[in-house]
Chains A and B, each alone.
Chain A
Amino acid sequence: MRLNKGRIGFVLPAVVFLAIGSLFPFFYSLVRSFQNWNLNVPGDKITFTGFNNYAQLFTSFEVFGKPLVITIIFVISSITLEFIIALLLALLISSRDIKGKNFFRTCLIIPMATTPVIVGLMGKYLFSDFGIINHYLGKLGIPPQPWLGSSTMALIVVIIVEVWQWTPFMILILEAGLNDIPQTAVEAADMDGAKPWQVVLFIKLPLLKRLIVLALMLRTMDCIRIFDMIWSLTGGGPVNATETVSIAAYRIAFRYFNIGLGTAYCFMILIITILISIFYVNILTREEQGAW
């Protein structure tokens, strides 16, 4: 009996905290998303308008569709690039005795430890019209590019900065996974005359699958909700060209003060996030039930 006494007390503070920090705001927003609360119209009566806000999101491409497309382009290209670069580098580095490997690893976590806002500012500085990147392109004979001034270029810069900051994270995770692969499996394949690329493709990658899915999931979730780095790098501009869903929702709620539409927007983001995580979790559970 003594063992069980007060066991609720251990978790209660955490549950209360969470209820206040997430649960209550969650339902508050949910209710608001069905109302026409617009602070720009003073004295306007707040009434329930059903799915009006949601309908508005779907009828106007500029409001919801465009930021969503930008977010999808951003997420898919950053994550693909991060994964490919990291996989190649992790394969290169793993399980070889490199002098100063620990120092190298520590250097790799510096970008991800740097505040995203500052990373954005550094990007803004390096890619500015008279910045160092244009300077070196000039030396190679390429005319200076208006990196942050043109819509396509700005999105590319945002992706480059994101890849710069988070590829090291992928490298570390994949490298840890590669080091965990039993040496015997690789040696057996070697004995059977497998070429190095065959070992990677048919032995190492399948063994790493769970870890890869997990790492991709973490990055996808982070990229969808990205706000701070893009905010300080481009502010969403030029002309909304780098406005992801989080920034768009922020603008609607805190610049145009359309709270009803803003909360509806947020719930669409949440639904998309949940769908994507279900997709990933499904792959993971299927993996675990699989042969290995």
Chain B
Amino acid sequence: MRRIKFRLKRIFLYIAIIIIMFCVIAPFLWTIISSISTNKELLSVPVHFIPENPTFERYKAIFTSDDTKVVAFKRGIINSFIVSSGVTIVCLVIGTFAGYAFARLKFPRKNMTLQFFLFTNMIPPIVIIIAIYFIFSKLDMLDSVISLILLYSSFITPFVIWMMRSYFVTIPADLEEAAMIDGCNRIGALFRIIIPLSTPGLVANGILAFLMSWEEFLFALILTTSKAKTITVAIAEFTGKQYVDYGLMATGGVIGAIIPVLITLIFGRYIIKGLTSGAVKG
């Protein structure tokens, strides 16, 4: 009797898991299916789950067509790559040094500075953006990839500092002290001992910084008009006011989602650890 009850419980558990997985994955699957269905099939009743004549025309169109929206989309992919990579590098460099300082060094008003960093993370972006728009337009920095890199970095750095600090704190200070006794200076100890030991933390933070800048929308929407448009702005433009080309929208969505999703699938464990350990142990 107990055995049967146990079995039933397990079956129930697996059914629940399958339902969750379905809810999580189905919208993606349907978007992918739509992107390779012909326009006729998209509107057909009953719905075709497996497209009768799968077509990759839209994917081809996105890489070859001269349509202005499509050109903007291609450009958006390249811009987003440049911006996100730039932000990742800037944030990791600044974040590592500052995070280390907050973990190890003594300097005046350390706690106040740290709390201040945390506070700036709390300011809703809309509060900052109006001012940024006018400042950038005065400095002639609108619609530029470099401005986006600088701006995103200034928002993501506090987060990286905070995370790197909690990572460095877990590394025993004895290690660097030993290195310094052996003749390393602080910078040397940082590069030879601490950074190699914190590779997992650096990877996780780098990925998060990359994803955050890849997905940013509000700033890009307001600050870019043509040549620096990022992928999020370009995708949002696929849906017009009057007419929506659902097929093309689905294709753009799939391409835009591929990179974050791939990164997540490959580095998933790092990210889960980074997200949960900070919250659980913090």
CB of B250 within 8 A of CB of A115, answer no
Chain A interface bracket (under 10, 10 to 19, 20 to 34, 35 or more): 35 or more
- Pick the residue among A4, A17, A102, A107 that contacts B154 (CB under 8 A): A17
Question: Do the beta carbons of A125 and B45 come within 8 Å of each other?
Answer: no
Q: Contact partner of B20 among A8, A89, A113, CB < 8 A?
A: A89
**B265 CB within 8 Å of chain A:** yes
Known: A107-B21, A172-B275. A21 touches B43 (CB 8 A): no
- Give A177's nearest chain B residue, CB to CB: B280
Q: In the complex, what residues of B have CB within 8 A of residue A106's CB?
A: 264-265, 268-269, 272
**Stretch from A76-84, A186-194, A247-255 contacting the other chain:** A247-255
Q: A283 near B: Cβ within 8 Å? A: no
Asked if A105 CB lies within 8 Å of chain B CBs, one says yes
Which residues from chain B contact A123 at a C-beta distance below 8 Å?
Answer: 27
Within 8 A of B (CB), among A11-34: 11, 13-15, 17-18, 20-26, 28-29, 32
Residue of A nearest to B9 (CB): A96
Contact A227 to B218, CB < 8 A, known contacts A22-B128, A122-B253, A266-B130: yes
23 A-B contacts (beta carbon < 8 Å): A2-B186, A7-B106, A10-B101, A14-B95, A18-B120, A25-B128, A26-B128, A98-B14, A102-B269, A104-B17, A110-B24, A110-B261, A113-B261, A114-B257, A115-B231, A117-B236, A135-B45, A173-B279, A225-B124, A231-B221, A245-B126, A246-B126, A266-B130
**Footprint of B on A, CB under 8 Å?**
2-11, 13-15, 17-18, 20-26, 28-29, 32, 89, 92-93, 96, 98, 102, 104-111, 113-118, 121-126, 128, 130, 132, 135, 164, 168-169, 172-173, 176-177, 180, 211, 214-215, 218, 221, 224-225, 227-228, 231-232, 245-246, 249-250, 253-254, 259, 262-263, 266-267, 269-270, 273-274, 277
